[in-house]
């Protein structure tokens, strides 16, 4: 087993274990940390599957942005009593049934399919692929790129207004 294969299955195991333990954890803060472990090891898998730009974006945005926002959210919604925020579970039977059945269905579908053979990996350098992504963003994907910019602006303004503590006038 080569080192790359070992890394691949290592990252897969870390991701799976983190995702499963997110189901059982009751402390929201530990849940946020587990989610970050899961997303960072997903970034490792992305690197091994020749998607370096997506991996770097994942690390930058999730570890740098979403983690901070979620931990702020956890701290701002914890009652000021020094106790950690503990979550109750509800709908356990229905949830286990639904997601277990869905997982079984997906597993059956995936294992019974035969997919197209993978093209042999063409040895393109990383900078060539990042070049292609940049050119693609400005040519083929210009419309979704601009719409994503507008969406980010709208989300920024909306989140700032919703979360601001200034009392809005009653309508």
Partner 1 sequence: MFPLHHLLLLGALLFSAGLLVVITKRNAIMVLLGIELMLNAANLNLVAFNQLYSQQLNGQMFALFVIIVAVCEAAVGLAIVLRVYQYYQTSTPDEVTELKD
DSSP reduced 3-state for 2: coil
**Closest to partner 1 by CB, 82 or 93:** 93
Q: How far apart are the first and last CA of the chain?
A: 67
- For residue 155, the minimal CB distance to partner 1 (Å) is 4
The nearest distance, CB 85 to partner 1, in angstroms, is 7
Q: Is residue 50 left, alpha or beta, with left meaning phi > 0 and alpha meaning psi from -120 to 50?
A: left
Least separation in angstroms between CB 167 and partner 1: 11
Nearer to partner 1, 5 or 83 (CB): 5
Beta-carbon count within 10 A of 130 CB: 13
Residue with tokens 């400005």: 138
> Is the CB of 3 or the CB of 121 nearer to partner 1?
121
């Amino acid at each position: 087993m080569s080192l790359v294969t070992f890394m691949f299955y290592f990252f897969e195991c870390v991701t799976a274990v983190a995702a499963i333990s997110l189901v059982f954890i009751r402390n929201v803060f530990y849940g946020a940390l587990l989610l970050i472990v899961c997303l960072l090891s997903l970034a490792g898998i992305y690197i091994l599957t020749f998607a370096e730009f997506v991996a770097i974006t994942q690390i930058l945005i999730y570890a740098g942005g979403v983690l901070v926002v979620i931990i702020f959210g956890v701290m701002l919604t914890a009652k000021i009593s020094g106790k950690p925020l503990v979550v109750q579970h509800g709908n356990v039977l229905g949830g286990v049934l639904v997601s277990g059945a869905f997982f079984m269905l997906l597993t059956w579908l995936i294992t019974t399919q035969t997919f197209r053979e993978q093209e042999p990996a063409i040895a393109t350098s990383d900078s060539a692929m990042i070049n292609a992504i940049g050119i693609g963003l400005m040519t083929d994907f210009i419309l979704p790129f601009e719409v994503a910019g507008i969406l980010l602006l709208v989300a920024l303004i909306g989140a700032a207004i919703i979360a601001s503590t200034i009392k809005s006038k009653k309508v």
